[in-house]
A and B are shown apart, each in its own frame.
Chain A
Amino acid sequence: MIEYISGAVTLGYLIAALFFARFWKRTRDRLFVSFAVAFVLLALNQALAQWLGAADERVGYTYLLRVLGFVLILAAIVDKNISNRKAGGGR
């Protein structure tokens, strides 16, 4: 059951990433690139954690991928607000 949900979650992250990529194509807003990459990292984290198995000590490192993903999102938010101020409303 756990593997089933883990697989579903991995796929969910990947599909979300694809949607973000599509939104970037439509609007050319950099924010969506960051979200797309972040969600790919979350998918990777999920897949690796499942593949290594809970007992493997390296599982802890896979969570760095998750953190990296969220750091990317944070960077995207910062970027959106900094360039906002600079260009007076740019993307």
Chain B
Amino acid sequence: MTIEDADFSDEFCQFLQVAVPAVESAELLLLLRRESARTWSAAEIVAALAPGVSLREEEAAHHVEALEARGILSVDGERRARYQPAAELAGHIATLERVYRERPVTLIRVIYGLRDRQIRSFADAFRLRRK
């Protein structure tokens, strides 16, 4: 799936592939970004995202951990997370927020398309006629 789209530059897609493997990650990240003054526990995140997004607490904790590893969130001793992005990621996160607002369907398609890119390319390899 080739994405020739000004909003979805290669760098942004790479950021997505690494930092935002699922739509729930994006929702979680944007929630913490909106309320960046406070810290969040996994349970509070689940409660805040419901009913639009249904997430189990372990899943939320898992996403938080992954985002912390990417330098987007910081987690204190009580497992409470706060939005604290590395400087070079702020731009991509701003793009993410805009695209989530303006083109959510495309964003979802891109996120899931990126996730299975390697696998799809295996299947596509068997097309005799190169596209």
List the interface of chain A (C-beta within 8 A of B): 23, 26-27, 29, 31-32, 76-77, 80-81, 84, 89
The interface residues of chain B lying within 8 Å CB-to-CB of A27 are 116, 119-120, 123
Query: Whole-angstrom distance between the alpha carbons of A80 and B129 in the complex?
Result: 11
A32–B123 CB distance below 8 A: yes
Q: Could you jot down 21 A-B contacts, CB within 8 Å?
A: A23-B122, A23-B123, A26-B119, A27-B116, A27-B119, A27-B120, A27-B123, A29-B120, A29-B123, A31-B123, A31-B126, A32-B123, A77-B126, A77-B128, A80-B123, A80-B126, A80-B127, A81-B128, A84-B127, A84-B129, A89-B131
A26–B123 CB distance below 8 A: no
Question: Which residue of the partner chain B has the closest CB to A84?
Answer: B127
The interface residues of chain A lying within 8 Å CB-to-CB of B122 are 23
Shortest distance in angstroms between B70's beta carbon and chain A's nearest beta carbon?
23
In the complex, how many residue pairs between chain A and chain B have their CB atoms under 8 Å apart? 27
List the interface of chain B (C-beta within 8 A of A): 116, 119-120, 122-123, 126-129, 131
Shortest distance in angstroms between A43's beta carbon and chain B's nearest beta carbon?
20
The interface residues of chain A lying within 8 Å CB-to-CB of B126 are 31, 76-77, 80-81
B123–A81 CB distance below 8 A: no
Query: Whole-angstrom distance between the alpha carbons of A73 and B107 in the complex?
Result: 34
Contacts A27-B123, A81-B128 aside, 10 further interface pairs with beta carbons under 8 A come to A23-B119, A23-B122, A27-B116, A27-B120, A29-B123, A77-B128, A81-B126, A81-B127, A81-B129, A84-B127
Q: Which of B116, B122, B126, B128 has the largest number of chain A CB atoms within 10 A?
A: B126
Shortest distance in angstroms between B115's beta carbon and chain A's nearest beta carbon?
8
Question: Which residue of the partner chain B has the closest CB to A80?
Answer: B126
The 7 A-B pairs of least Cβ separation, nearest first, read A29-B123, A77-B126, A23-B119, A31-B123, A81-B128, A80-B126, A26-B116
Query: Whole-angstrom distance between the alpha carbons of A32 and B123 in the complex?
Result: 8
Shortest distance in angstroms between A62's beta carbon and chain B's nearest beta carbon?
27
Query: Whole-angstrom distance between the alpha carbons of A10 and B119 in the complex?
Result: 23
Question: Which residue of the partner chain A has the closest CB to B119?
Answer: A23
